[in-house]
Amino acid sequence: MAYQNVGTPRFYINHFSKEINPTTINTYSAEAFTYSFDLKPNYVMLLGTSSGLQITADIHNTLVEKVNYYIEGLDEGFSLAGYALMDYTTASTSGTLTITGDLAELVVGRYYDMPHSPDLSLSMSHEYGGIKTITTKGGSTLSNVNYLNPAKWGDREAWQLGDSPYYYSGRRSWDLSFSYISDTDIEPYSYYGNKYDGDTHQEGTDNWFQNVLYYTQGSPFIFCPDPSIEYYSDGSNPPRVPEFAICRFDMDSFQRKQVASNVYNIKVKIVESW
């Protein structure tokens, strides 16, 4: 996590709903949420959690901790859990999650990891479009701040954990280029989603179109620049947590440039959304 480097990025796609808005806290009393997706989910993310929140999964899928997830209760802020049964032979496309406590947003779906890290020419920015400045007749400069960071999730900043501070400054954005990506990592084997005897395509093969573009289409997703960072908390020091952001693609089109046989380059611009 040092210096906010970008590793091999991960895109958490929200299959549960088209929006991600954790600004309103709701109270649930053993309320069951059922889902049924085209793809088999491999994560659950809870945004705007309370300290007494509890979540249980049905017998078909067991949740395991990734960030701040405990059976006996969670720290306030947010939590990330993975499914213990993630392979396509045992996992299910449907299930039930039961929630008790205060929660702003439930996000369930399947994440997609880029095949490799981006090119070294990447850029990361903090944008300040919400700050307007004027110069008075006397020459003084005045600033009017319409927005500087996302609205709080309950009593805490977005992505804050417990009482550990979380420092925000502007709207984050990433310009990433990926070179030499195989065609099988970009487009699906078939837009019909089928295969025939003798085809080498295997069920569950992830690719950029099928796992990301098809499901976002202007909708927000959760972006993690470096998922290799392992969560750690000893209860006394600030926790070590991967960086997350609710984002959208800031692009009118997605283009791929062929640079060799069955190999392509692509570029994406990702902007924090609230």
Q: Is residue 125 part of a domain?
A: no
Q: Who contacts 194 (Cβ-Cβ below 8 Å, separation ≥6)?
A: none
pLDDT at 170: 86
pLDDT, tens digit (0-9, with 9 covering 90-100), for 198-230: 555 455 578 999 899 999 988 999 999 999 999
Provide the domain limits for residue 7: 2-120+151-272
Q: Which residues contact 252 (CB under 8 A, 6 or more apart)?
A: none
| DSSP character string of 110-148 | -EEE-SSPPPTT-EEEEE-TTEEEEE-TTS-EEEEES-S
pLDDT of residue 127: 85
Q: Is 213 left (phi over 0), alpha (psi -120 to 50) or beta?
A: alpha
- Predicted TM-score of the model (pTM): 0.89
Could you report the per-residue pLDDT of 59-68, keeping only the tens digit for each?
A: 666 788 899 8
> How many distinct structural domains can be found in the chain?
1
CB-CB contact of 177 with 266 (8 Å): yes
pLDDT exceeds cutoff 70 at 193: no
Q: Per-residue pLDDT tens for 93-112? A: 888 999 999 999 999 999 99
Q: Is-contact 139 191, C-beta < 8 A? A: no
Q: What is the rounded distance in angstroms from the CA atom of residue 124 to the CA atom of residue 236?
A: 31
User: Is the model's pLDDT at 117 over the cut of 80?
Assistant: yes
> Between residues 165 and 48, which one has the greater pLDDT?
48
Looking at mean pLDDT, say which of 52-56, 138-142, 269-273 comes out highest. Answer: 269-273
Pick the residue with more confidence: 190 or 28?
28
pLDDT band at residue 1 using 50, 70 and 90 as cut-offs: very low
For the chain, give the mean pLDDT.
86
Q: What is the pLDDT of residue 54?
A: 85
The more confidently predicted of residues 194 and 263 is: 263
> For 160-170, what is each residue's pLDDT tens digit?
988 888 888 88
In a domain, 134, yes or no: no
- State percent of the chain over pLDDT 90: 47
Say which residues have a Cβ less than 8 Å from residue 133's Cβ, sequence separation at least 6: 141, 142, 143, 144
Query: Cα–Cα distance between 33 and 197 in angstroms, integer?
Result: 38
Q: Which residue has the higher pLDDT, 82 or 148?
A: 82
Q: Which of the given ranges, 34-48, 87-101, 195-209, has the highest pLDDT on average?
A: 34-48
Distance CA 105, CA 146 (A): 25
> Residue 244 domain-assigned?
yes
User: Could you tell me if residue 140 is inside a domain?
Assistant: no
Q: Answer yes or no: is 195 within a domain.
A: yes
Listing from the earlier edge strand, what are the strands of the sheet with 77-83? 63-67, 77-83, 43-49, 105-109
Long-range contacts made by residues 22-25, C-beta under 8 angstroms, separation at least 24? Answer: 22/47, 22/48, 22/78, 22/104, 22/105, 22/153, 22/158, 23/48, 23/104, 23/151, 23/152, 23/153, 24/104, 25/50, 25/102, 25/103, 25/104, 25/153, 25/154
Q: What is the pLDDT of residue 210?
A: 87
Judge whether 144 lies within some domain. Answer: no
Structural domain includes residue 142: no
Residues 225 and 174: beta-carbon distance below 8 Å: yes
Q: Is 146 a member of any domain?
A: no
What single-letter amino acid sits at 52?
G
